[in-house]
Amino acid sequence: MQQGLRIAASVLAADFSRLGEEVRAIADAGADWLHVDVMDGHFVPNLTIGAGVVAALRPHSTRPFDVHLMVTPPDPYVEPFAEAGADCITVHAEAGAHLHRTLQRIKGAGKRAGVALNPATPVSAIEPVLGDVDLVLVMSVNPGFGGQTFIASQLGKIEALRALIDAGGRAVDLSVDGGIDERTAGLAAGVGADVLVAGSASFAGGPSAYPGNVARLRAAGEAGRTGSPGTRARPRSIGAAVS
């Protein structure tokens, strides 16, 4: 069943020169989770942070750390990020040959396990392991960089995953990451997302703006869920709205 709406602020968009302060500020502003993008310059064309940075940030917030591993192979990174303080570790279905084994490794480390799907990866990729995951992450941009435009076709994927998760009867979080702002938050939530990962829209304007940023994202998502006019749309009808 669908869970309560949560805003996961992506620290990729934070000011890296004062990252601890940024984490505290966005948590104080009302963000429910801290989303941490880990990129290796191989699986995706960018290089970000390692487990040491997560460990350094952990004392700055009690919010759940949602660590998104955009790395291949993912297995060697599971234990270091678990020990650094990750609460959920998400790996890509495309990143390794033995997805089930990787998920069991995450569970064995005592952490929630997630699977991410790139825009071109079909819903069927998650079906064999759906009973083993705590979170499914739909990439609504091609991973690797922040600030990209939401890919409208992913709304159909979110909707299909929502139906698949609900049919399974387990509480699995359905997250969407990429191009989430006040416009697209309602669209994603309206077709079933319950975790909205937002970087630029969370951290725009500096710390004084963070409470308003988070509040507007949450309001847009909740409006999409309740079907307020202009926010809830079916996948086939929204191309013009987000292009």
Active site residues: 37, 177
Give Cα 213 to chain centroid, integer Å: 17
Contacts of 150 (CB under 8 A, 6+ apart): 140, 141, 178, 179, 180, 181, 184, 187, 242
User: Prior bond to 73 cis, omega within 30?
Assistant: yes
Query: CB neighbours of 230 closer than 8 A, spacing ≥ 6?
Result: none
> Nearest Cα to 212, choosing from 13, 68, 7?
7
Counting every residue written for the chain, the total comes to 243
Task: Give the single-character DSSP code of 150.
Answer: P
Query: CB of 166 within 8 A of CB of 201?
Result: no
Q: How far apart are CA 50 and CA 61, in angstroms?
A: 18
CA–CA dist 22, 208 (Å, integer): 11
Residue 85: both structure tokens together: 């303080």
CA–CA gap between residue 200 and residue 218 (Å, rounded): 15
